[in-house]
Amino acid sequence: MNKNPVGWFEIYVDEMPRAEKFYQQVLMVDFELLGDPNDTNIEMKAFPSNLEQYGASGALVKMDGFAAGGNSTLIYFSCDDCAVEEARIVSAGGKVQRSKMSIGDYGFITLAIDTEGNMFGLHSEK
């Protein structure tokens, strides 16, 4: 494989305004509305991205037939210090599942649950 293994991610949500507000508050980002190319009643809000930098981008997605939570995919958001974003999780309506912890030579992680019941991770080098 000559490319990064992840090219895109989607976080399925039940209530788009609630989920968008949660990630805006925790990650301090603004979303871009993505149009549905097939007009199949899909609502998508894209995370900001820079194709010139390392990493993948993705979107919050509300789609009939795909409920939020209970999935087995874990997305890690890159941070300078995951304790900073962790400190905003509860006030944004989420839950800290596992507070900042060392993963040895690979830095630190926090595990959390968003307002839609999805678990996600925060990763930092310090």
**Is residue 6 scored above 80 in pLDDT?**
no
Radius of gyration of the chain (CA): 15
* pLDDT attached to residue 52: 85
Give the pLDDT band of residue 1 (cuts 50, 70, 90).
Answer: low
Which pLDDT score, from 0 to 100, does residue 22 have? Answer: 98
pLDDT in the model for residue 56: 86
How does 1-17 read in b/e, with b if 16+ C-beta sit within 10 Å?
A: eeeeeeeeeebbbeebe
What separation, in Å, do the N-terminal and C-terminal C-alpha atoms of the chain show?
Answer: 29
- Per-residue pLDDT reduced to its tens digit, 19-75: 999 999 999 999 999 876 666 678 899 999 888 888 888 999 998 878 888 777 889
CATH number corresponding to 8-56+70-124: 3.10.180.10
Rounded distance between C-alpha atoms, residue 53 and residue 73, angstroms: 23
59-104 confidence digits (pLDDT tens): 999 988 788 887 778 899 999 999 999 999 999 999 999 999 999 9
For position 38, what pLDDT does the model report?
63
pLDDT of residue 50: 87
